[in-house]
Amino acid sequence: MDYLSRIRVVLGVYEQDELLRELIDITKEKIISYLNVNEIPQSLSWILVELVVQRFNRIGSEGLVTESVDGKQNSYVKDELLQYKGYLDEYISQNATKRGYRLL
């Protein structure tokens, strides 16, 4: 199942493909840049799905650190990748020598 289909199922949203594709592209670029790879490894594809769902649910609240509505308080992470840093760094360390360099 491709990213768009997976995200549609999770969100239950089937009529905002243009927005979802843009969020997928932006998130994909961030992960690819962080990992220094050309494509997101299949083993980490779930991270893209989770990040896009989070971004979609935050539309209209971009830039907020904390939001309180009807007594319910939401806190947002400024660096979206931070919560997945352990998984991403583990991938980097496991694959560093395969790409011709080694982390010290």
pLDDT tens readout for residues 87-96: 999 999 998 7
Give the separation between CA 93 and CA 77, rounded to whole angstroms. 25
Give the separation between CA 76 and CA 65, rounded to whole angstroms. 5
pLDDT at 62: 65
Domain residues of the chain, as ranges? 3-99
Higher pLDDT, 59 or 64: 59
3-21 in b/e form (b: 16+ CB < 10 A) is beebbbeeeeeeeeeeebe
Least reliable range by pLDDT among 7-11, 41-45, 66-70, 100-104: 100-104
Contacts 24+ apart (CB under 8 A), 84-89: 84/47, 84/50, 84/51, 87/44, 87/47, 88/31, 88/34, 88/35, 88/44, 88/47
pLDDT greater than 80 at residue 50: yes
pLDDT at 70: 76
pLDDT at 60: 77
> Percent of the chain at pLDDT above 70?
82
Give the chain's mean pLDDT.
Answer: 87
For the segment 47-65, the average pLDDT, to the nearest whole number, is 85
Higher pLDDT, 97 or 51: 51
